[in-house]
């Protein structure tokens, strides 16, 4: 299915949703919802047939044809079911007013008196459109030309008629039981003519069938066909012509068959006559469809639609005949004797008989669910099942059945018909909702979900919000699922645009953003290792971020597009930062912080989240300071002149002091220690915060110590003697500060030593080792007093 068809259907839906309060517009025969979609399908079929695309299978074309046909059926039936019908007089009333009422007027009154019969007549007219194309026979220049030539030749020569050929030229010559036939060419023409006449009758084109018979020089056959027309006389029935002409323009002022009952019985006898050819019998069975002729008529049915047409034609004809019989046919069928009989009154038994007849109709139509067809899609095709359910007014069970099939995996999403079926059922649900027909909520949700998946697979991202909005209470969740499915394929601009579309279709954008972020985080965590196990190494070379890590990182975008979701962004940011830092991915944590708007830092509630976020910001600021110290230290070169080295030394000293002050302040202010709510129990967040603390408290202390200790190495080779003493004093001061840091670590008020002991005490051994190095370095300037360096600058 091309992208243009998806967009065109969505455009029709948008237009008609704006007319949802105007029932007449939605059910308009040309501009309503169903006719518009039917035309779209027809246009698409024409396009595919014109281009002869190799990518389109015959099954897909058949599905489009059946979808177009089904929309036509809906348009034919729904206006009468939903809109208030016009009042029509009962046939008994017409006869009471005028006993000479023509049969066509009575037939119309009988139809209007039965809603089901009216619907069956409408369905029969709809089925005319589904008839196969008529194969016109090649018309001859005369009646039985080849047979006539042989007969005349025998008469002229005196040799008689060729053996086996008819001797007479009347229409019944081949039916006398003497075994004589027509010339081969004429016999073939008669067969093709009968088949063409049947095709015209099947398509409801009686006038064309009559004209074909006249052109074939068989006016008696044309007269037989016209015998199916009911007797009509507008002057007697007080009716006016639709074309504005007077009745004098009609021959004798009337038309149709005054003796149709006799004509019908003759057609039935002809259809049952084994002496006639099968095509001839089928024509008479089609002209007079009854239970008696059903077997003959059924023999000509090749498609499922043919079987449905035959069954409905029989039901309509027999209902009309039975009702006309109850009315005694009155004058035009019963003669003067009928006028002397008492008219049939209206009574309660009429309703009971109608109910019984409805049961008979239902039973007869239900048999079509298992009929075997020779051509076209089978009876169990989804569209055939749908059409039968629509005719039987069982649309709700139909939706539930289709939704159940979707849930059970009966339909293959990879089949060429699947997109067409899901598109039809999704729009059927929406159409029914627009015209205020209840649809099963769960089934509707399943069907729309399936169509949304079709749209996603087709890359129709801009249409998702429109159809997701129809899910009602589940609309937000479903559109959020779609946004989640974008993964990393969409950049931030595409994400923002997709989120904005939610507002265009009546969805709460804030809620969509929050739910999308939540589902994205959940999806990322499903593919990431849990935050447990050994503590990660911070100094090891970090690999490139995985797709799951990038998905987790970018999940924060959804709640940072709008200020109204910043509070949720704060909560989600702390979760993501906690995970990244807990896995040693400091660079990803820093990227996340850079993505967050500065306004989030001003949020104060809830206090525990705001404090946690502050701690992350403080930590990452310190981490950046440590990187700056390392970068500054790398700028030192041996060929620096005095001024350059003095300036470098001043920057280096200031950075070290900033780092020391920031780290000590951080460590002495309960950094990453859970608040009072943790006293009520140890939850996941509590454990994750402790993990972060156990990773980075020892790391910060070790890095600070090493930074202070290593500062002496960068001045050991300096030769400018006038500041050498200052440099050595600075070196000893840094050693003293490094050793005094051990007192902070050991201070029970800050609980820093606990973090060195977890999980195996390895980091405590590392720290004691570097402290020992600092003590030894303090003794390098002379003397045996290991605590001398602690007196420097005191």
| CA pair distance 441, 434, nearest whole angstrom | 14
Q: Is the pLDDT of residue 96 over 90?
A: no
Q: Is the pLDDT of residue 779 over 80?
A: no
| CA pair distance 574, 592, nearest whole angstrom | 10
Mean pLDDT of the chain: 83
Overall average pLDDT of the 753-774 stretch: 78
Q: Is the pLDDT of residue 54 over 70?
A: no
* Closest C-alpha among 495, 488, 474 to residue 524: 488
Overall average pLDDT of the 240-254 stretch: 54
Rounded CA Rg of the chain: 46
Write down the pLDDT at residue 654.
86
Reported residue count of the chain is 794
Tens digits of residue pLDDT in 654-671: 888 888 889 888 888 888
Check: CB of residue 322 under 8 Å from CB of residue 301.
no
Top pLDDT among 91 and 164 is at 91
**Number of C-alpha atoms within 13 angstroms, CB side, residue 337?**
3
Which two tokens mark 723?
């500041």
Write down the pLDDT at residue 725.
43
The full set of domains in the chain, from first to last, is 133-226 (no CATH), 618-719+730-790 (1.20.190.50)
Tens digits of residue pLDDT in 107-143: 888 888 889 999 999 999 999 998 888 877 777 777 7
Overall average pLDDT of the 470-489 stretch: 78
CB-based burial of residue 48 (10 Å sphere; 0-12 exposed, 13-18 middle, 19+ buried)? middle
Top pLDDT among 681 and 443 is at 443
Q: Is the pLDDT of residue 53 over 80?
A: no
Maximum mean pLDDT: which of 52-61, 102-111, 418-427: 418-427
**Number of C-alpha atoms within 13 angstroms, CB side, residue 86?**
3
Write down the pLDDT at residue 613.
92
Which two tokens mark 635?
């700028």
Write down the pLDDT at residue 346.
58
Overall average pLDDT of the 32-44 stretch: 93
Which two tokens mark 535?
């503590």
Spatial neighbors of 108 by CB under 8 A, at least 6 apart, are 88
Q: Is the pLDDT of residue 35 over 60?
A: yes
* Closest C-alpha among 613, 605, 602 to residue 671: 613
Any alpha helices (H) in 327-394, and if so which ranges?
A: 330-340, 348-366, 382-391
Q: Is the pLDDT of residue 592 over 90?
A: yes
Write down the pLDDT at residue 158.
64
Long-range contacts of residues 747-752, Cβ cutoff 8 Å, at least 24 apart: 749/668, 750/667, 750/668, 751/673, 752/667, 752/697, 752/701
Overall average pLDDT of the 79-84 stretch: 88
| CA pair distance 233, 219, nearest whole angstrom | 24
Q: Is the pLDDT of residue 246 over 60?
A: no
Helix (H) or strand (E) holding 530: none
| CA pair distance 649, 635, nearest whole angstrom | 10
Q: Is the pLDDT of residue 787 over 60?
A: no
Write down the pLDDT at residue 751.
80
Write down the pLDDT at residue 343.
59
Directed axis angle between helix 145-157 and helix 184-202, to 10°? 150
Write down the pLDDT at residue 25.
92
Q: How many CB atoms lie within 10 A of CB 746?
A: 10
Q: Is the pLDDT of residue 792 over 60?
A: no
Give the DSSP letter string of 207-271.
HHHHHHHHHTT-HHHHHHHHTTSBPB-HHHHT---TTS--GGGSGGG-BSBTTHHHHHHHHHHHH
Check: CB of residue 399 under 8 Å from CB of residue 439.
yes
Q: Is the pLDDT of residue 174 over 50?
A: yes
Out of 194-203, 243-252, 263-272, 450-459, which region has the weakest mean confidence (pLDDT)? 243-252
Overall average pLDDT of the 674-683 stretch: 54
Top pLDDT among 94 and 389 is at 389
Which two tokens mark 598?
């500065």
Out of 152-156, 273-277, 592-596, 769-773, which region has the weakest mean confidence (pLDDT)? 152-156
Check: CB of residue 464 under 8 Å from CB of residue 452.
yes
Maximum mean pLDDT: which of 61-75, 233-247, 711-725: 61-75
Write down the pLDDT at residue 782.
55
Write down the pLDDT at residue 258.
83
Tens digits of residue pLDDT in 203-212: 999 999 999 9
Maximum mean pLDDT: which of 128-142, 304-318, 456-470: 304-318
| CA pair distance 406, 663, nearest whole angstrom | 60
Q: Is the pLDDT of residue 249 over 60?
A: no
* Closest C-alpha among 82, 72, 76 to residue 20: 82
Write down the pLDDT at residue 727.
46
Q: Is the pLDDT of residue 788 over 70?
A: no
Write down the pLDDT at residue 679.
43
Long-range contacts of residues 779-784, Cβ cutoff 8 Å, at least 24 apart: 781/728, 781/732
Which two tokens mark 230?
């009911």
Overall average pLDDT of the 13-20 stretch: 86
Spatial neighbors of 42 by CB under 8 A, at least 6 apart, are 68
* Closest C-alpha among 595, 580, 606 to residue 688: 580
Out of 46-55, 83-92, 93-102, 232-241, which region has the weakest mean confidence (pLDDT)? 232-241
Tens digits of residue pLDDT in 332-367: 666 666 666 655 665 555 678 888 899 999 999 999
Tens digits of residue pLDDT in 501-523: 888 777 888 998 999 999 999 99
Tens digits of residue pLDDT in 571-585: 999 999 999 999 999
Write down the pLDDT at residue 314.
95
Spatial neighbors of 456 by CB under 8 A, at least 6 apart, are 464, 482, 485
């Amino acid at each position: 299915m091309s992208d243009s068809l998806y967009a065109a259907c969505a455009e029709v839906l948008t237009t008609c949703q704006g007319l949802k309060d105007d029932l007449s517009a939605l059910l308009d025969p040309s501009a309503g919802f169903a006719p518009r979609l039917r035309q779209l399908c027809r246009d698409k079929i024409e396009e595919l047939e014109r281009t002869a695309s190799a990518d389109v299978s015959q099954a897909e074309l058949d599905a489009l044809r059946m979808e177009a046909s089904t929309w036509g059926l809906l348009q034919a039936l729904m206006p009468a079911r939903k809109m208030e019908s016009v009042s029509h007089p009962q046939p008994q009333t017409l006869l009471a007013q005028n006993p000479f009422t023509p049969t066509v007027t009575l037939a119309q009154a009988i139809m209007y008196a039965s809603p089901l019969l009216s619907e069956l007549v409408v369905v029969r007219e709809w089925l005319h459109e589904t008839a196969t194309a008529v194969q016109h026979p090649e018309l001859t220049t005369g009646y039985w030309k080849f047979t006539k030539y042989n007969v005349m030749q025998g008469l002229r020569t005196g040799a008689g008629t060729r053996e086996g050929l008819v001797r007479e030229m009347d229409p019944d010559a081949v039916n006398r039981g003497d075994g004589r036939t027509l010339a081969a060419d004429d016999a073939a023409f008669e067969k093709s003519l009968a088949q063409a006449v049947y095709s015209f009758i099947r398509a409801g084109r009686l006038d064309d069938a009559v004209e074909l018979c006249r052109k074939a020089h068989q006016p008696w056959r044309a007269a037989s066909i016209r015998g199916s027309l009911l007797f009509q006389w507008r002057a007697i029935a007080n009716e006016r012509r639709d074309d504005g002409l007077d009745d004098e323009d009609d021959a004798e002022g009337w038309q149709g068959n005054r003796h149709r009952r006799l004509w019908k019985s003759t057609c039935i006898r002809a259809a049952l006559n084994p002496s006639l050819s099968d095509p001839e019998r089928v024509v008479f069975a089609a002209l007079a469809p009854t239970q008696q002729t059903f077997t003959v008529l059924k023999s000509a049915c090749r498609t499922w639609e043919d079987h449905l047409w035959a069954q409905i034609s029989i039901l309509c004809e027999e209902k009309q005949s039975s009702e006309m019989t109850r009315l005694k046919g009155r004058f035009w069928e019963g003669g003067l004797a009928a006028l002397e009989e008492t008219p049939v009154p209206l009574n309660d038994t009429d309703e009971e008989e109608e109910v019984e007849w409805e049961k008979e109709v239902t039973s007869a139509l239900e048999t079509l669910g298992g009929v075997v067809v020779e051509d076209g899609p089978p009876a169990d095709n989804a569209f055939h099942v749908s059409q039968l359910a629509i005719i039987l007014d069982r649309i709700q069970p139909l939706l539930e059945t289709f939704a159940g099939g979707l849930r059970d995996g009966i339909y293959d999403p990879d089949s060429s018909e699947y997109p067409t079926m899901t598109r039809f059922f999704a729009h059927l649900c929406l159409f029914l909702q627009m015209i205020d027909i209840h649809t099963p909520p769960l089934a509707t949700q399943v069907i729309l979900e399936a169509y949304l998946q079709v749209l996603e697979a087709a890359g129709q991202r801009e249409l998702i919000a429109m159809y997701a909005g129809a899910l009602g209470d589940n609309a937000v969740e479903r559109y959020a699922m779609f946004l989640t499915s974008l993964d990393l394929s969409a950049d931030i601009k595409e994400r923002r645009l997709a989120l904005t579309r939610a507002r265009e279709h009546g969805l709460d954008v804030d809620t969509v953003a929050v739910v999308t972020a939540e589902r994205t985080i959940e999806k990322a965590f499903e593919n990431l290792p849990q935050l447990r196990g050994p503590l990660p190494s911070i100094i090891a070379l970090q690999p490139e971020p995985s797709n799951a890590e990038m998905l987790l990182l970018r999940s924060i975008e959804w709640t940072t597009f709008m200020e109204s979701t910043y509070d949720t962004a704060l909560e989600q940011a702390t979760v993501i930062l906690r995970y990244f830092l807990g896995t040693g991915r400091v660079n990803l944590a820093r990227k996340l912080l850079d993505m967050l708007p500065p306004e989030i830092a001003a949020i104060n509630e809830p206090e525990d989240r705001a404090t946690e976020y502050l701690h992350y910001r403080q930590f990452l600021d310190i981490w950046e300071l440590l990187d700056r110290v390392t970068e500054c230290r790398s700028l030192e070169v041996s060929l620096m002149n005095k001024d350059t080295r003095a300036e470098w030394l001043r920057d280096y000293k200031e950075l070290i002091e900033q780092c020391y002050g920031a780290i000590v302040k951080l460590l002495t202010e309960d950094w990453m220690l859970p608040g009072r709510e943790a006293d009520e129990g140890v939850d996941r967040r509590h454990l994750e915060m402790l993990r972060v603390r156990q990773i980075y408290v020892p790391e910060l202390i070790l890095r600070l110590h090493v930074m202070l200790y290593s500062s002496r190495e960068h001045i050991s080779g300096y030769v400018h003697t006038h500041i050498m003493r200052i440099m050595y004093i600075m070196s000893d001061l840094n050693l003293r500060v490094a050793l005094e840091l051990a007192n902070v670590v050991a201070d029970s008020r800050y609980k820093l030593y606990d973090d060195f002991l977890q999980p195996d005490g390895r980091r405590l051994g590392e720290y004691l080792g570097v402290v020992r190095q600092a003590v030894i370095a303090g003794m390098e300037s002379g003397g045996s007093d290991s605590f001398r360096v602690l007196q420097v600058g005191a």
